[in-house]
Amino acid sequence: MDFHLTKEQEMVRKMYREFAENEVKPLAQEIDEEERFPQETVEKMAKLGMMGIYFPKEYGGAGGDVLSYVMCVEELAKVCGTTAVIVSAHTSLCCAPIFEHGTEEQKKKYLPDLLSGRKIGAFGLTEPGAGTDASGQQTMAVKNENGDYVLNGTKCFITNGTVADTFVIFAMTDKSQGNHGISAFIVERSFPGFSVGKHEKKMGIRGSSTCDLIFEDCVVPKENLLGKEGKGFKIAMMTLDGGRIGIAAQALGLGEGAIIEAIKYTKERVQFKRRLSQFQNTQFQLADMHTRMQAAQYLVYAAAMKKQNHEPYSMDAAMAKLFAAESASDVTRRAVQLFGGYGYTREYPVERMMRDAKITEIYEGTSEVQRMVISSNLGVK
Partner 1 sequence: MKIIVCVKQVPDTSGKVAVNPDGTLNRASMATITNPDDLNAVEAALTLKEQTGAEVIVVSMGPPPAEGMLRELLARGCDRAVLVSGREFGGSDTYATSQILAAAINQIGVEKEDVVFCGRQAIDGDTAQVGPQIAEKLGLPQVSYAAEIVKDGDTLTIKRMLEDGYMTIKVKTPCLITCIKELNTPRYMSVGGVFEAYSKPYTVLDYNALKDDPLIDKTTIGLSGSPTNILTSFTPPLKGAGMMLEGADRATCEKLAGIMAAKHMI
- Give me the residues that bind partner 1 (CB under 8 A), please: 7-8, 11-12, 14-15, 18-19, 47-50, 53, 57, 62-64, 68, 72
Residue closer to partner 1 by CB (options 56, 197) is: 56
Cα 20 to Cα 249: distance, rounded to the nearest angstrom? 15
Strand partners, 218: 151
- Concatenating the DSSP letter of every residue in 201-233 gives P-SS-TTS-EEEEEEEEEEE-GGGEESSTT-HH
Residue 336: closest CA among 326, 351, 357:
351
The number of residues in the chain equals: 381
Per annotation, catalytic residue among 10, 35, 364, 368: 364
| Least distance to partner 1, CB of residue 236, Å | 28
Cα 93 to Cα 344: distance, rounded to the nearest angstrom? 33
Residue closer to partner 1 by CB (options 87, 276) is: 87
Q: Specify whether the CB–CB gap between 171 and 137 falls below 8 A.
A: yes
For residue 152, count CB atoms less than 10 angstroms from its CB and return exposed for 0-12, middle for 13-18, buried for 19 or more: middle
| Least distance to partner 1, CB of residue 240, Å | 24
| Least distance to partner 1, CB of residue 64, Å | 5
Strand partners, 199: 211
Q: Specify whether the CB–CB gap between 377 and 315 falls below 8 A.
A: yes
74 labelled catalytic? no
| Least distance to partner 1, CB of residue 54, Å | 9
Q: Which residues are catalytic?
A: 364
